[in-house]
Copies of this chain bind each other. A is one copy, B any other.
Amino acid sequence: MTEIGVPARIVDVAALAGVAPGTASKALNGTGQLRAETRERVRRAAEQLGFTPDSLGRGLSSGRSYTVGLITTDSFGRFSIPVMLGAENALGAGEMVVLLCDSRDDPVREQHYLRTLLARRVDGIIVTGRRTEPRTPVAAPEHLPVVYAFTPSQSPADTSLVVDQAGGAQSAVRHLLDLGRTRLAHVTGPADHHASVVRREAAVAAAGDTLVAPALHGDWSERWGRTAAEILLRRHPDVDGITCGSDQIARGVCDGLRDAGRRVPDDVAVVGFDDWDVIALASRPPLTTVALGLEAMGRRAGELLLDAVAGRPSVGTTTMPTRLVVRDSTVGR
């Protein structure tokens, strides 16, 4: 553990190397016209002093802060945290640092944070949230890059990243059909949630004739999953495959089926959605589920933001693929 003392400034480096501060700056940044020998001498002096340029001074002169704001409406919950981690990862590679802003779904707080971020001269902003419904764009000035992740912007002129919900639901149904299941059902969350609707429509379309019942809407809880399993078994005792709108619902469905004496996956195969490890792995049996790839999305958001900061913006909405993770709830050991 090396103690870190009072930081050296560039004038110290310059003095040690016997050059002017401006020259030292050029040497360390690879700019200007300098002899290789001078450059090297400055570089060694900087290393010797453990010089790290003060980012306030640098930002003041360059107009950049090497900082990005991360605004979430979500209090950093289930969905925004992986996005945040991925973004931090990608941005860290670009020597950027992330400023945290938790707007808690409050437009006033969001506006306040936006002002703060602008006052801090952030190089860009990443916006994320809990819902998949497109949101009103943030009121950022024209020149400031903004990337929306998970929760897209309503404006097609913005840069957004979304999960391929439909593709994920389709892959879940295909998986059951490939396993030879022929009497399918779908259980999902509230009917007024965008994610529920998109996943349901894709699942229903993919199931076609094999669907034994209209999709069931409820809340996102395990309890609802158990209830839905009861309902399904009562109305359609011959159901042999269930795709669910979330892992919580799927876990509840598994429990409900077991309580009713059905074996999973032998009698009924169950597929979840989200790949939330805490739920999916603890379920009995562990859930086959659709992984959202949120961390990859966050990383991509960071990369897109870096590109935009570098002057290579990429407008439009990009859909990120999901991945089906197969576990025991569809394929027994």
Q: Tell me the A residues contacting B by CB distance below 8 Å.
A: 1-7, 52-57, 59-60, 65, 67, 70, 75-76, 81, 84-85, 88-89, 97-102, 111, 114-116, 118-121, 136-137, 139-141, 221-223, 248, 251, 255, 278-279, 282, 284
Q: A76 to B70, alpha carbons, bound, how many Å?
A: 15
How many monomers of this chain does the complex have? 2
Q: Quick one: which of B2, B98, B137, B140 contacts A100, CB cutoff 8 A?
A: B98
A4 x B118 contact (CB < 8 A): yes
Question: Chain A interface mostly helix, strand, loop or mixed?
Answer: mixed
A52 x B223 contact (CB < 8 A): no
B81 x A85 contact (CB < 8 A): no
Quote the shortest CB–CB distance from A97 to chain B (angstroms): 5
Most buried by B among A84, A89, A282: A282
Using A53-B119, A76-B81, A97-B120 as known contacts, list a sample of 8 further A-B pairs with CB atoms less than 8 Å apart, ordered by residue number in A.
Answer: A7-B119, A54-B121, A55-B120, A56-B59, A60-B60, A76-B76, A99-B100, A223-B282
Q: Which residues of B contact A121 (CB under 8 A)?
A: 54-56
Q: Quick one: which of B52, B56, B140, B279 contacts A65, CB cutoff 8 A?
A: B56
